[in-house]
């Protein structure tokens, strides 16, 4: 990609800040949500893969839950480290019998833990699989149906933070976006983003999603198909319990289980 000029850098910084700030008044942001970070994005060569028909060879996760199935294409080129781990763990049965432990009504749900409190087995800091460096891409955005890897931690090195090179980390838990409500104020904010981001803003307005997660977390997959979105709607509309005293997550009143995650190709999914 070519280097952006000063004006271009300013525009792309504004884009990320606006996206990260949108809808914060609409719902309580998950404790996963990163603090807004200034990033320069070159939008000139952006390809929104989530709007495309998947290639037959695309790696695909079929997430079987007690509320229905979610079929999601995985972005192995844009998030190679995270998808390698996710595929490996899914094939090993790591997610079998794990729980949806957090539901933000109509907006998102989080899953992948051994109980419904959202706690993990063992020490978070000591586990390499809970400390995978965040991978972001201008080609991937938190549209409705996006699979994201919430943050587990941040590089606390003084010098790395001082010079803006500190990394954020994610782990085994995953989050599936539904959508915030796009009221007139949010629509106006999106429409006022620089023209170079028109395709992204139009996709949010048409498809829905959670704009304030933009460029904050690893986006590693995208749900496809009517059944997938029906399942996402069912899970994110479930009644929830009071927040857990230790983790503060609001789990569904009736447990929702990830029964199994199968890894296939998109072509195999179409034939099944």
DSSP per-residue string spanning 104-166: ETTTEEEEEESSTT---SS-TTT-GGG-EEP---TT---BTTEEEE-EEEE---HHHHHTT-P
The most confident of 71-75, 122-126, 166-170, by mean pLDDT: 71-75
* pLDDT attached to residue 39: 60
Q: Name the least confident of 83-97, 100-114, 177-191.
A: 177-191
Which of the four pLDDT bands, split at 50, 70 and 90, describes residue 33? Answer: very low
Number of alpha carbons in the 13 Å side-chain half-sphere of residue 50: 26
Which of the four pLDDT bands, split at 50, 70 and 90, describes residue 64? Answer: very high
Task: Report residue 179 as tokens.
Answer: 């959508």
Question: Which domains occur in the chain, in start order?
Answer: 6-39+48-271 (2.40.100.10)
Euclidean distance between CA atoms 119 and 173, whole angstroms? 10
Contact (Cβ atoms closer than 8 angstroms) between residue 67 and residue 256: yes
Task: Report residue 117 as tokens.
Answer: 């409190």
Euclidean distance between CA atoms 241 and 152, whole angstroms? 23
Find all residues with CB under 8 Å of 241, minimum gap 6, and list them.
Answer: 250, 251, 252, 253
Compare 206 and 42 and report the one with higher pLDDT.
206
pLDDT in tens, 188-221: 888 777 777 888 999 999 999 999 899 999 999 9
């Amino acid at each position: 990609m070519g280097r952006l000029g000063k004006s271009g850098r300013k525009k792309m910084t504004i884009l990320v800040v606006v996206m990260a700030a949108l809808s914060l008044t609409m719902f309580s942001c998950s404790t996963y949500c990163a603090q807004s970070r200034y990033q320069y994005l070159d939008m000139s060569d952006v390809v929104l893969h989530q709007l495309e028909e998947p290639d037959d060879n695309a790696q695909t996760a079929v997430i079987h839950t007690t509320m229905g199935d979610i079929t999601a294409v995985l972005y192995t080129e844009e998030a190679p480290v995270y998808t390698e781990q996710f595929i490996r763990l899914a094939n090993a049965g790591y997610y079998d019998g794990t729980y949806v432990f957090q539901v933000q009504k109509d907006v998102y749900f989080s899953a992948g833990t051994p109980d419904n409190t959202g706690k993990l087995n063992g020490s978070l800091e000591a586990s390499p699989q809970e400390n995978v460096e965040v991978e972001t891409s201008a080609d991937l955005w938190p549209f409705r149906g996006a699979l994201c890897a919430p943050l587990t931690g941040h590089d606390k090195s003084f010098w790395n933070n001082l010079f803006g090179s500190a990394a954020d980390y994610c782990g085994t838990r995953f989050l599936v976006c539904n959508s915030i409500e796009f009221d007139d104020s949010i629509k106006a904010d999106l429409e006022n983003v620089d023209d170079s981001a028109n395709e992204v803003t139009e996709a949010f307005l048409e498809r829905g999603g959670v704009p304030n997660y933009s460029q904050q977390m690893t986006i590693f997959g995208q749900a496809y198909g009517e059944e997938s979105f029906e399942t996402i709607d069912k899970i994110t509309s479930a009644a929830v319990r009071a927040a857990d005293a230790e983790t503060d997550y609001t789990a569904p009143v009736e447990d929702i289980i990830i029964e199994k995650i199968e890894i296939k190709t998109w072509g195999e999914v179409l034939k099944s």
